[in-house]
Homo-oligomer: A and B are copies of this chain.
Amino acid sequence: MRAVCLLSGGLDSAVTAAIAKYQGYEVYALTFNYGQRHKREVESAKEIARWLGAVHKIFDIDLNQFGGSALTDKINVPEGKTIDEIRDSDEIPVTYVPARNTIFLSIALAYAEVIDADAIFIGAHAIDYSGYPDCRPDYFDAFQRMANLATKQGVENRKIDIKTPLIELEKADIIRKGNDLKVPFEHTWSCYKGGDIPCGVCDSCVIRINGFKEAGLEDPLEYENGIQSQ
């Protein structure tokens, strides 16, 4: 059994790939170098892939060719929100990259088709990222149905399963699961900004710090200004 695992270098995708490995899949990790301001995460992905013993493909695609997001464009990454403000917001955050999951999953589908993989794993979850249209369970169901028709495997009535093992989990649960699987959290990168050490105040850092707090575990990362998860 082979699985293409989307591996961003962040915590969620590292836990997801560890789950795939734990389930017995041969892991083909796929990382996107997409013009993100936090390129630092690609280095983290390399570390995680090495820890997994996975084949690792780094795919270059410059999503900056369209712009439209704070992660690729010259739009400021918001900071200073509380975890409740992030969770309760109905708005699509400016860090949303248009159709990013669709593009990444489509490229993963091509990779899965070429290596004849059985599954694609993606570490999306709907709880903390409720504002992102392409993190909702309905979206992944629809992608699955499309994928069933899109490929050679589909024509042969075989399926490439789109797996979202974290979809209903909260960050604290993800961290607990990663802890059980001995994921090296020190090599994961969550911060949206491009600095050398994580800022501690962007949405992604706030969600991570709060997650470790709720899980009762220690985040091995050090944050700017001495912000800590405990």
The CA of A59 and the CA of B62, in the complex, are separated in Å by 9
Residues of B within 8 A of A111 (CB): 66
Residues of B within 8 A of A150 (CB): 99, 101-102, 133-134, 139, 142-143
Q: Which residue of B lies closest to A103 (CB)?
A: B106
Residues of A in contact with B, size category: 35 or more
Shortest beta-carbon distance from A156 to chain B in Å: 9
**Structural contact, A146 and B151, CB atoms closer than 8 A:** no
Q: Which residue of B lies closest to A96 (CB)?
A: B152
Q: Among B67, B103, B110, B147, which residue has its beta carbon within 8 angstroms of that of A107?
A: B103
The CA of A155 and the CA of B145, in the complex, are separated in Å by 19
Q: Among B98, B110, B114, B143, which residue has its beta carbon within 8 angstroms of that of A114?
A: B98
Contacts A99-B151, A110-B98, A113-B98: A62 and B60 contacting too (C-beta < 8 A)?
yes
Contacts A60-B65, A133-B155, A146-B145: A106 and B114 contacting too (C-beta < 8 A)?
no
Residues of B within 8 A of A134 (CB): 149-151
Q: Among B61, B113, B138, which residue has its beta carbon within 8 angstroms of that of A99?
A: B113
Listed A/B pairs (22) with beta-carbon separation below 8 Å = A57-B66, A60-B65, A68-B110, A68-B113, A92-B155, A98-B114, A99-B107, A99-B110, A99-B113, A102-B109, A102-B110, A103-B107, A133-B151, A133-B154, A134-B149, A134-B150, A134-B151, A138-B149, A139-B146, A142-B142, A145-B145, A145-B146
